[in-house]
Amino acid sequence: MSTSGVRATLLALLSCLLSAGLGFAMSTDQATAPTREATTDVIVSTCLPADETLLALLEDRDRIAALSIFASDEEISHVTQEAASVSRRVRGRAEEILALEPSLVLTFPFAAVETRTLLSRTGVPLVDLPYASSVEQIASNVRLVGRAVDRRERADELVAEMHRALAELAGAARDRRVLVYNRSGTTYGADTLVDEMVRWVGAQNVARERSLVGHATIGIPALLELDPDVVLVVDYDADGASREVGGRAPPALDPALRSLRAVEAGDVQSLSARNALTSSHHVVALASELVERLGRRP
């Protein structure tokens, strides 16, 4: 994978990738959620999708010992207000997690090996949320957390609420050819949540016209050839080398792209990082923003 491709993958995963690593993990296929007795006392969440899911499922916030540092980041978190009810934040380091003596840790598959090793030796129960590149996987993750914290019924309700809200947005946008573009020169191809939502609201993701899959690099010649009606720029970036995160203003497109119909029509717009990076039930907000940016179908 090219350097820019790696950066793109980091961007899409940053809310948990930067939270760094946890030990042995359970997939949705093989996981049996820990019993209630093992999970009710001290729950630690180390990534944003887990933060957002946990806060939606649990009214008793005393059960939550800590959330990830991203829960309070207004650029990417949908739960900054709710997160204020939990005082502690973790970066995902084993030492800080173990200091809390957790009875359950919610994590993500992308993590530092050394942290995983340390936690696995302690026997701390872990629930690993697979990266969600589809609404189906989001629903599976919500139910996985629901089982782990003994909120199965609430998890089913949350999934149903998500599906109802998305149903109202199905085909709601104008049928336009759109490219979602990251400042690193990457876009969202097939098998990404952004692609699924662009198509769900009734638009066309031009990245598919070049058979792009995942978070893929796209060069200026390809952009000129695709010539989308709308370009949506994600105004957030992550440096995979330093693991520092910074929100910036949307960049101007390269001058070589001035001939794009989207540029000529003034249809280069921002897409919020909070929605572009989501992999929780807040995908509804992504679909809603896409309809707003693309315009509602008459």
pLDDT in tens, the chain (298 residues): 444 444 444 444 444 444 433 333 333 333 444 443 444 579 999 999 999 999 999 999 999 999 999 999 999 999 999 999 999 999 988 899 999 999 999 988 776 677 767 877 888 888 989 999 999 999 999 999 999 999 999 999 999 999 999 999 999 999 999 999 998 889 999 999 999 999 999 999 999 999 999 999 999 999 999 999 999 999 775 543 333 333 344 346 778 888 999 999 999 999 999 999 999 999 999 999 999 999 998 7
Which token pair is 236? 């957030």
Report how far residue 125's alpha carbon sits from residue 107's, in angstroms, rounded to the nearest whole number.
Answer: 11
Instruction: Confirm if 215 and 192 have CB atoms less than 8 A apart.
Output: yes
Q: So what's the pLDDT on residue 72?
A: 96
Smallest CA-to-CA distance from 95 within 73, 72, 112 is with: 112
Tokens of 3: 């350097």
pLDDT at 114: 74
Specify the DSSP element, H or E, that contains 78. Answer: none
Distance CA 207, CA 217 (A): 10
H-state helical runs in the chain: 3-17, 36-39, 48-57, 80-83, 94-99, 113-122, 135-148, 152-169, 193-200, 220-226, 261-264, 273-276, 283-294
**Residues 6 or more apart from 256 whose CB is under 8 A from it?**
220, 224
CB 123 within 8 A of CB 129: no
Give me the domains of the chain, ranges plus CATH numbers.
Answer: 11-166 (3.40.50.1980), 172-294 (3.40.50.1980)
pLDDT of the residue at 122 = 87
56 vs 284: CA distance, rounded Å: 14
Handedness of CA 234, 159, 162, 103 (dihedral sign): negative
Cα Rg of the chain, angstroms: 19
Q: Hey, what are 107's tokens?
A: 């994590």
Task: Write down the pLDDT at residue 168.
Answer: 97
Phi, psi of 247 (to 5 degrees): -90, 135
In sequence order, the β-bridge partners of residue 239 are: 244
